[in-house]
Structure 1
């Protein structure tokens, strides 16, 4: 360790002054000397303050990404307030709604940056890909679809849905989430659910079809079988919740409107006339009386009852009940199932939805109450296949 430096360091200033006056001669043929100096400039891109869409690619669920952003906002607020407790739990649905707004605003700011600038200036160019949607920014900075429904007595999600880009990971997560909520149905029902929840996807039909094509559950449910085996007509349910619970059969009767194609399903405990009349009374009590009822005849109705060992003995009782309520029952001709295509189509859709609903339910857990709940969810899924579908039972039902 030096307490006092060497003597030469204190006496070298004079010599240093002599060295400053020394001239350096450069030789023209010196290979170490370059006649020209090359100057390079590197451009530095400052990242934006947004979350960054590349960070969203690590998430595989719409629920998980909203919860993660909500937790991140909670931690940020705790640090901002200098709180000793760093809150990472979601407190209310409002936190998830704010997280969804943050995600969508960050997504639109990167994918629709030029369009948002034009919307702010209120000058949309002809090359703007959103010009047909008449977009505008709401109070939260979300880009929404415009139109002429400003004064409609509907929510903002219904009249002005949020615009989502195509071929984007966040858009795929939203479609996948709503596709699971409608029990893995096709493109038409999934797109209707997407519109009813307040989302407008650019190229929605192709984007929804792309997500459904990659759905593993749909591939299992819609996979082609080598041999087509018809399912049994009654459904098996368990009586009680003990090990000694026995199996019982249940039937379902479907009423569909011939005008709006609305569907109403009632569960029957037996195939006798009293059980059917009770189901018909429940239908009239909920949906209102009908003027005319159409149904199959021959092999589709009577033949099915005979095959199961049941017979509708008291047909006069059913006719008398309908006559008292001013309702007419018309049977189609025998062996003419093509005349009932309206309700045969609804039966096929109901079976597909029921396959998706009962996939997550064990057979031992299907009680009468559970089965009635599942059939109500099946009817709700069918009735939600259109965006503004309001089910009104008109006086012409099956």
Structure 2
């Protein structure tokens, strides 16, 4: 009983008025007074304004701020409920909500039935529950499920089924194998509805007993006793909420393939936009290890190969200097997050390129790194690394060479790769196919140039002619190569990643059981608006990962309670809460390189879990009873 609630229910706020403290007789006993003061006061008659007209309010010297009063007014929350055609759990069965396991529900009903039996009979039952008592409790529970789900035998969901009621008032199905000499439950299974939280508990219990078997195996086991309407769909829906199975069977996010970036399709000089990667190691005759540094032209698909004797920054910088001396200085370099690449970029950042640009006109090289563990972002050089490995397997086999011989083989492989046709044609009348070598060398001319007369007019004409050849070559590249590229999309897009999603952060080096668990905190959209890169918080801090490395865990915590009774109302509310969830952002960020992905425990730390209130508004601590501790486990 609440006095304030009763006043609000029986009265209207428009009829409320303020009584000054000097005129309010109720303040006398609350503030304390003597008996004489009580007799001399207005305690028995009340204040003088009660004898006046109702429309006259008592005078007060206070100035009221209406805005502050309105802010203190209690807000009203308007909620709506989606109607469900399925029958709801009656108010008398509220106790089923306290048990999330089917076996616990049966034991609870068995204890209640024993209590009823002991109250009605003198010979009381004692000790642990027997198997007969648990069986009677299961019959009682199944009878409750059928009464709540099926109004009568003429229910539309039972039309077309040959059913009957047994001696326990359970609806059973007459199967086509009733003449077989077999178990009664197998010949005449119990009919159960598709949407009922007790049916979900039953399915999940059998799923755990069968060591997390799949839908087909679980359906065969349940068929030994029960006939579940829409069985396969219901079983898949129930086991999809299993945390263990979800962790092992989760599939990564899929995003639509974007168009090629501007640096891949614009008109540029050879190696103006370059991708770099290391392949190897290869073993020399002396037993030393060397690596192949592959520079790839992002536009014309040409390659340049260098040999590195170590994975250090110094060795790579020397290979980069040799590349620039032969092929020219690139404007943009793409690479993964190798330590030698990151160290080289850090060394460039310490150079004052503003003074260099003013004196010599040399601009700083723009270095762009791929996200960690996203090797497919550098597919245009990874593909050529595969071509190089195929050539080396066929040429070298299992042989080992010295340094000079290996350099010769690398030059030969470079010439072969750069001479490959970019387009294929089976028509003999077609022009010479385009190759990357055409964009690296000057055009081959007929005649003896040394004997030709060279003057200003002839030289100008030759320059114009060469410019025309370059323009024609780029026009052919545009029409014959770029025009044949299509946007290929393999797979089907699943739901988009959202802030607050609980995901597994996958990698190629560790097993799935060792993948860390994380929560999405930031979405980084691309130029087309699609989210392909996110920041995930784990036990070790924040990680930058592509969405293809994230495996969503869509597990409902209370899957046995309110979902089926409200036609997925709980799912709707959980989705709305997930969209508006506030996730803390931490300053410590861990960025793994391409080859190193951290391994952490497969759980989210307590600090990052959703906000759970452990104290009341008044400050009193909330403690869960020990006997209910198992029911609150996630």
Task: Work out which of the two has the higher radius of gyration on C-alpha atoms and give 1 or 2.
Answer: 2
TM superposition score normalised by structure 1: 0.39
TM superposition score normalised by structure 2: 0.25
